[in-house]
Amino acid sequence: MPLEAQGLSSFKVRWNISWHETLPTILSSAIYPSNSQIVAKLVYNCHVTAICSSKNVEYVQKLGSDDVIDYTSQDIVEVLLEKAVSQRPYDLIVDCVGGTDFFNAYIDLLNPKGAYVTIVGDKTGVKTLGGPPTYFTSPAQVVRFIKGYIWGPRYACM
């Protein structure tokens, strides 16, 4: 089984995620998110929403995205909130870009057993280290993790 499939499988089992076949993948059109998207479609037959710039729309559509949001011309959070309300909440958000745009909205975007996973954390600048070390520099990130573990939806920085 490919590494990405193992990662999504262990994530699903570890946190007992019972997704409803809606998996938004927050993309920057890089290698890791592309692999996640392909695995989500091929292994789990998920509905994938990709977020990218206008120049990469065709690329993520070729990878099998069901929906594409162009972050250069649309408000990502607003569009995702509309979709979550009109259809149903998302089950997993994989954020490979970082920043703090989703922190006020991810609880409304996800179902209670869903999860928000970031590989960057609360890092907002290009000159600081991202990923799990941000737990040491951002108390709010630790609080999100604990609240998610107890009440859901889950939050993790990997």
pTM: 0.79
Q: What's the token pair of residue 26?
A: 């927050």
Report the sign of the C-alpha dihedral through residues 21, 17, 3, 125, in that order.
positive
State the pLDDT at residue 40. Answer: 77
**Percent of the chain, pLDDT > 90?**
15
Domain 23-129+143-157 listed as CATH 3.40.50.720: yes
Residues 64-88, mean pLDDT to the nearest whole number: 87
* pLDDT higher than threshold 70 for residue 21: no
State the pLDDT at residue 104. Answer: 86
- Separation of CA 152 from chain center: 15
Strand partners, 157: 118
Tell me: the pLDDT tens digits for 35-68?
A: 777 777 777 777 888 888 888 888 888 888 888 8
Mean predicted lDDT score pLDDT of the chain: 78
Strands 110-118 and 67-70: unpaired
How far is it, in rounded angstroms, from Cα 142 to Cα 69? 29
